[in-house]
Chain A
Amino acid sequence: MAKIDRSGEPLLSVQDLRTYFYTRSGVVKAVDGISFDLHPGETLGIVGESGSGKSMTAWSILGLVPQPAGKIVGGKIFFKGQDLLEASPSEMRQIRGSGISMVMQDPLTSLNPVFTIGSQVIESLRMENKGPAAKLREMAAALLAKVSIPSPETRLHAYPHEMSGGMRQRVVGAIAISRSPSVLIADEPTTSLDATVQLQYLKLLKEIQETTGAAIIFITHDLGIVANMCDRVGVMYAGKFVEQADVLPLFDNPSHPYTQALMRSVPDLEVDVAHLPSIEGQPPSLDDLPPGCAFAPRCEHAFDKCDTYPDTFTIAEGHTSNCWRHSGDYSVAD
């Protein structure tokens, strides 16, 4: 993994982002105080379980929070120095696609079944390029070739249902990079793919990153993908980052009890284990969170202090964890 230059201005800077949903059963704090910086060429992984707010972080950055229930109630999102929360709808339309674009989870729902692949790729190209249809078709075919789709010219006439899952996801990737964005958000892009096809797709994303220099935000629940794709990782639980670190320190020295327990509870293909330590209990419901640390009810280390939300403690340079165990008041047992 190439060393990322973090000395310059970050490309994308999210500061204390809060996205809340106002529902009949109460306020759901989907994203509750998320901060991170993303530098050019960097891959940030956001790991968490379903409902931890990782997808909503992405939607918030793109200004696509479902209305009217959802609202960004606090924080700032700077993209190349511009505050996206202050941007007008037409400015946001410009940024989506050419500045920040997204690859969704399921290519079956993110592609329109009644239009050909060609017309969907061209639709996105037309936002920026004026010119004869033939030229746009050529550009579209070149894009499909870039994501390693065999015989791209004929594929332009195909409909989504005529392609396999892996090929469809490549088309979604082609549309996402069509306007050369500098940030690519990939929201679980491989969950609907088979294992061998997943590997192909991850390689493709890396190649795209190397050729275009784009920064990638990788949203996933799979620690294996994080270990292999990301430079930096944020672990999310109940709308908050509980731990942030570079990928190596995170796997070598996981510090938050949730990260530790999560890593222990995933079986390993390399070794035989007799018993897998599991995390007891259920993930909390976001409209009824405990007052302090949301993981405390499931945490084996929980103590009285956990009733108030812990500060952010620095474990090492660039490695932070939100757990009172690092405050010095609690002697770490293990």
Chain B
Amino acid sequence: MTTPSQINAAPGSDSSYEGPLAHIENLKKYYPVTQGMIVRKNVGYVKAIDGVSIDIPKGQTYSLVGESGCGKTTTARMFLMVEKPTAGQVFFRGKDIHKLSRKETADYRASVQAVFQDPWSSLNPRMRVDSLIAEPLVTHQHLSRTELKKRVHELLETVGLRSFHAERYPHEFSGGQRQRIAIARALSTQPELMILDEPVSALDVSIRAQILNLLKELQQNFSLSYLLIAHNLATVRYMSHQVGVMYLGKLVEEGPPSAVFGDPKHPYTKALISAALPAHPTNDREEIVLRGEVPSPINPPSGCTFHTRCPVAMDICSTVYPERREVAEGHRTSCYLYTETGTASA
């Protein structure tokens, strides 16, 4: 078993830093839309993320929820440094990750790891489990063969597998076990932040709770921070310390899960909760059936992007995007219902 102290001794860590482990500020990512075969002409932008700020404290889970195309995954990709933001910054331990030296960048990449949705496509079928798990270690740390082998066995045990599994190939495992391998691989470099992109939605219902519990246990043992992306709200409530609800590239509501799910403020959050079917036939929930589907992010609606589907839209909503307001401690939302301008005109 790996001890927590080993994990905490992350390379390049600065013990005096006390802010959130990772945070992004007013992050924007626009993808150009081009037209024309020979002369490429820029005809617009897909605003995948449009001014999002979040804080991920050490040892906590921040979850992003929203429908497909709302920018959850793009936000995660910003942390993984696979793409550069159009505007805004990503900070890790207080440092802008795009201003790090080469050595620091390598360290950063080791301390941020990801687990993806589908363990059938995220694990190379031609690699044995031991080389799959050791691959990040070979890249980031210089270990001897025996040390590597020892680490791989420790990691397998940490995720609830046995050391003899190291000699097998991914196809010999079930979905739940594969996801455990993917988690072991992510843990190998002793990360501080893990990006979990729909980690259980490809798994069987009876397996999901096992993996969720494993992730929670690992978080406690190694004080890991998670950025969880999930569309199942109940899963999010179970896993998170903070929840952010996204709609068309913007964070519309944010707060602790008990507040966001127990006392939702933004009409979109309310609709999303109403769409999560209650777990018992007699549980009646307020039913909000939204009109239509999420508009295209290429030409998002003016003002509040949700006003086209919002059941309580007002005139002001189509003009300017509402400012973010704190409605209760740590519970923030961007909606005119909770601003003075909005309440005055309503």
Could you list which residues of chain A lie within 8 angstroms of chain B, going by C-beta atoms? Answer: 1, 49-50, 164-167, 194-200, 202-203, 221-225, 227-228, 247-248, 251, 261-263, 265-270, 272-273, 275-280, 282-283, 298
Residue numbers in B under 8 Å from A166 (CB-CB)? 293
| A221 touching B205 in the complex, CB below 8 Å, given contacts A195-B275, A200-B289 | yes
Q: Closest Cβ of chain A: how far from B324's Cβ, in Å?
A: 23
* Complex Cα spacing A202 to B232, Å: 17
| A196 touching B275 in the complex, CB below 8 Å, given contacts A203-B289, A262-B205, A283-B206 | yes
Instruction: Pick from B11-19, B96-104, B147-155, B278-286 the stretch touching chain A.
Output: B278-286
**Are A276's CB and B209's CB within 8 A?**
yes
Q: Is B198 an interface residue (CB 8 A)?
A: no
Instruction: Pick from B78-86, B123-131, B181-189, B266-274 the stretch touching chain A.
Output: B266-274
| A275 touching B275 in the complex, CB below 8 Å, given contacts A247-B281, A261-B206 | no
**Are B174's CB and A269's CB within 8 A?**
no
Q: Closest Cβ of chain B: how far from A45's Cβ, in Å?
A: 11
Some 23 contacts from A to B, beta carbons below 8 A apart, are A49-B206, A50-B204, A195-B233, A196-B67, A198-B275, A199-B275, A222-B205, A223-B279, A227-B279, A227-B280, A227-B281, A261-B206, A262-B206, A267-B235, A268-B237, A269-B233, A269-B234, A269-B237, A272-B237, A276-B213, A278-B209, A279-B210, A282-B176
**Are B276's CB and A164's CB within 8 A?**
no
Q: Which residue from chain A places its CB closest to the CB of B231 in the assembled complex? A: A195
Residue numbers in B under 8 Å from A282 (CB-CB)? 174, 176-177, 207
**Are A195's CB and B272's CB within 8 A?**
yes
Q: Is B166 an interface residue (CB 8 A)?
A: no
Q: How many residues of B contact A (CB 8 A)?
A: 42
| A279 touching B281 in the complex, CB below 8 Å, given contacts A194-B231, A196-B271 | no
Q: Which residue from chain A places its CB closest to the CB of B268 in the assembled complex? A: A196
Residue numbers in B under 8 Å from A228 (CB-CB)? 277-278, 281
Known: A195-B233, A270-B261. 4 other contacts (CB 8 A): A262-B206, A270-B278, A272-B237, A279-B206
Q: Closest Cβ of chain A: how far from B200's Cβ, in Å?
A: 10
**Are B281's CB and A194's CB within 8 A?**
no
Q: Is B221 an interface residue (CB 8 A)?
A: no
Q: Closest Cβ of chain A: how far from B306's Cβ, in Å?
A: 11
Q: Is B68 an interface residue (CB 8 A)?
A: yes
**Are B271's CB and A268's CB within 8 A?**
no
Q: Which residue from chain A places its CB closest to the CB of B204 in the assembled complex? A: A49
* Complex Cα spacing A247 to B276, Å: 18
| A251 touching B280 in the complex, CB below 8 Å, given contacts A265-B208, A276-B209 | yes
- Dominant secondary structure at the B interface: helix
**Are A269's CB and B281's CB within 8 A?**
no
Residue numbers in B under 8 Å from A224 (CB-CB)? 276-279
Q: Which residue from chain B places its CB closest to the CB of A283 in the assembled complex? A: B204
Q: Is B290 an interface residue (CB 8 A)?
A: yes
**Are A195's CB and B276's CB within 8 A?**
yes
Q: Closest Cβ of chain B: how far from A307's Cβ, in Å?
A: 22
Q: Closest Cβ of chain B: how far from A224's Cβ, in Å?
A: 3
Residue numbers in A under 8 Å from B278 (CB-CB)? 224, 227-228, 269-270
| A276 touching B238 in the complex, CB below 8 Å, given contacts A49-B204, A49-B205, A50-B204 | yes
* Complex Cα spacing A228 to B210, Å: 26
* Complex Cα spacing A203 to B289, Å: 9
* Complex Cα spacing A164 to B296, Å: 10
Residue numbers in A under 8 Å from B67 (CB-CB)? 194-197
Q: Closest Cβ of chain B: how far from A136's Cβ, in Å?
A: 28
Q: Is B299 an interface residue (CB 8 A)?
A: no
Q: Which residue from chain A places its CB closest to the CB of B271 in the assembled complex? A: A196
Q: Which residue from chain A places its CB closest to the CB of B239 in the assembled complex? A: A267
Q: Which residue from chain A places its CB closest to the CB of B217 in the assembled complex? A: A275
| A275 touching B281 in the complex, CB below 8 Å, given contacts A262-B205, A269-B233 | no
Q: Closest Cβ of chain B: how far from A219's Cβ, in Å?
A: 14
| A267 touching B237 in the complex, CB below 8 Å, given contacts A198-B275, A228-B278, A228-B281 | yes
Residue numbers in A under 8 Å from B281 (CB-CB)? 1, 227-228, 247-248, 251
**Are B205's CB and A266's CB within 8 A?**
yes
Residue numbers in A under 8 Å from B212 (CB-CB)? 267, 276, 278
* Complex Cα spacing A223 to B235, Å: 14
Residue numbers in A under 8 Å from B280 (CB-CB)? 227, 251
Q: Is B319 an interface residue (CB 8 A)?
A: no
Q: Which residue from chain B places its CB closest to the CB of A275 in the assembled complex? A: B213
Residue numbers in B under 8 Å from A263 (CB-CB)? 279
Residue numbers in A under 8 Å from B232 (CB-CB)? 267
Q: Closest Cβ of chain A: how far from B278's Cβ, in Å?
A: 7
Q: Which residue from chain B places its CB closest to the CB of A195 in the assembled complex? A: B275
Residue numbers in A under 8 Å from B257 (CB-CB)? 272
Q: Is B34 an interface residue (CB 8 A)?
A: no
**Are A278's CB and B275's CB within 8 A?**
no
**Are A196's CB and B210's CB within 8 A?**
no
Which of A1, A266, A277 is the one whose CB lies under 8 Å from B279? A266
Residue numbers in A under 8 Å from B208 (CB-CB)? 265-266
Q: Which residue from chain A places its CB closest to the CB of B202 in the assembled complex? A: A50
